[in-house]
């Protein structure tokens, strides 16, 4: 296992510069257009696929970086380019993580390639967990999966919401209730193959930010999928449910995690890295502007009120990155998050992104409030980081429960 270091090696620097070049040359010039269109930027995704950024191999290489820094480094550079387009490029990754975290080797090998397609025929995937009445409160999930033993099929019914790529995805990963008596322990994840009857797109959401990323409801009406599409398999599920029932009867025993939470735990530092990328982008625009914008005969950065803001912005961005890198390294090193370090990284980085982008708008003044400058879009985009994959309030709850051992509500 690699020792923790804050210095990227030569290979990592080369990859970082390659991604940065794509973000600067391809993503940024297209950002304003796709934000206005509020549509999936298929041409940009295809360009990413052609150069190798949108591919299973690329994410596998970053995921298996022994330092743990491959994924956060890649996320920061892509989201430095543009958050909406970047989320369209990486949104498939959440579904892929769901399969890797909970699936068998056969399921991983069969379905993840179908999530990405080919450079000439790109596909996307969707991870469907949230529901109209079950966002942070996953215990209120109503989507049901019932096993039809005679046909070895699962039948899914319900409505998912806030699904990135929902309805347009080639492959959907759906979290559903299989044993209501167990609450969140009675959830499981399922693969819904392409063109499965009964799955349809519901409402497509018009959003405040990340507009280039498709977000919609997914409606499941008597969706029948083969038994082999249960992530992890029926035997593993039955064993997990039996342990959960035994634990419930005894009032203790082994902790059993549900599939959705396992996915979110693995992805939280990556979300923190996304937030760092957006914050860094806004900071750089504000710094350049402050050095060239003159008022009263001198650059505005000569004023302490502006200079001190920029100093705080840079400090907070670097601190957020260090928390993300620490959590990412701990994950790959197999170190337990004894103080909820993954949630810490996501919480701090997302709050920093909102604050830094707001400060960037303020430094640019009236210009910052217009769409002629990108900080307006970055500020809108940053709002999502404190909401999706666990709100800041949920992150604080996770941290408080972890450090105290108390059932804080």
> Pick from 311, 369, 323: which is nearest to 347 by CA?
323
Instruction: Looking at 8-160, list the stretches that DSSP marks H as alpha helix, in order from N- to C-terminal side.
Output: 10-22, 28-37, 42-51, 56-63, 70-81, 83-90, 92-102, 105-116
User: DSSP secondary structure string, 181-247?
Assistant: GGGGGGEEEEEE-TT-TTEEEEEEPP-SS-TTS-EEEEEEEEEEEEGGGBTT-HHHHHHHHHHHHHH
354-367 CB burial, b ≥16 within 10 A, e <16:
bebbbbbbbbbeee
Contact present, 95 and 283 (Cβ < 8 Å): no
Is 140 strand, coil or helix? Answer: helix
Q: What are phi and psi of 70, to 5 degrees?
A: -60, -50
221-247 CB burial, b ≥16 within 10 A, e <16:
eebebeeebbbbbeeebeebbeebbeb
Alpha-carbon Rg for the chain in angstroms: 22
Contact present, 159 and 200 (Cβ < 8 Å): no
Distance CA 313, CA 282 (A): 10
Q: Which helix or strand (DSSP H or E) is residue 315 part of? A: helix 304-332
Any idea which residues carry the catalytic annotation? 389
Half-sphere exposure of 216 (CA within 13 A, CB side): 22
């Amino acid at each position: 296992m690699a020792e923790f270091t804050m210095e990227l090696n030569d290979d990592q620097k080369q990859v970082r510069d390659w991604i940065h070049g794509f973000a600067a040359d391809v993503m940024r010039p297209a950002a304003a257009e796709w934000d206005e269109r509020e549509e999936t930027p298929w041409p940009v995704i295809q360009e990413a696929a052609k150069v190798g950024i949108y591919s299973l191999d690329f994410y596998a290489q970053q995921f298996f970086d022994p330092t743990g820094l491959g994924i956060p480094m890649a996320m920061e550079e892509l989201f430095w380019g543009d958050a909406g387009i970047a989320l369209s490029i990486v949104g498939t990754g959440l579904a892929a993580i769901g399969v890797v975290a909970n699936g068998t080797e056969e399921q991983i090998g069969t379905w993840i390639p179908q999530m990405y397609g080919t450079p000439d025929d790109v596909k996307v995937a969707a991870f469907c967990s949230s529901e109209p009445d079950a966002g942070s409160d996953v215990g209120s999930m109503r989507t049901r999966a019932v096993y039809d033993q005679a046909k070895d099929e699962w039948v899914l019914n319900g409505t998912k919401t806030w699904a990135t790529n929902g309805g347009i995805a080639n492959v959907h990963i759906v979290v559903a209730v299989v044993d209501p008596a167990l609450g969140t322990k009675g959830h499981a994840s399922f693969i819904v193959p392409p063109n499965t009857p009964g799955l349809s797109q519901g409402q497509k959401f018009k959003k405040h930010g990340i507009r280039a990323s498709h977000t919609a409801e997914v409606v499941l009406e008597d969706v029948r999928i083969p038994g082999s599409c249960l992530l992890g398999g029926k035997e593993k599920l039955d064993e997990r449910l039996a342990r959960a029932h035994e634990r419930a009867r005894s009032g203790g025993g082994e902790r059993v995690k549900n599939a959705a939470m396992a996915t979110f735990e693995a992805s939280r530092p990556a979300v923190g890295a996304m937030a760092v990328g957006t914050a860094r982008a806004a900071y750089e625009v504000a710094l350049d502007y402050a050095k060239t914008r003159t008022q009263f005969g001198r650059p505005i950065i000569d004023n302490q009120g502006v200079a001190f803001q920029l100093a705080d912005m840079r400090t907070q961005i670097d601190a957020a990155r260090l928390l993300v890198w620490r959590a990412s390294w701990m994950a790959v090193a197999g170190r337990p998050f004894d103080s909820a370090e993954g949630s810490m990284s996501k919480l701090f980085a997302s709050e920093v992104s909102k604050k830094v982008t707001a400060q960037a708008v303020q430094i640019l003044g009236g210009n910052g409030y217009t769409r002629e400058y990108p900080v307006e879009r970055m500020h809108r985009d940053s709002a999502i980081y404190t909401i999706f994959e666990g709100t800041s309030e949920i992150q604080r709850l996770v941290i408080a429960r972890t450090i105290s051992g108390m059932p804080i509500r």
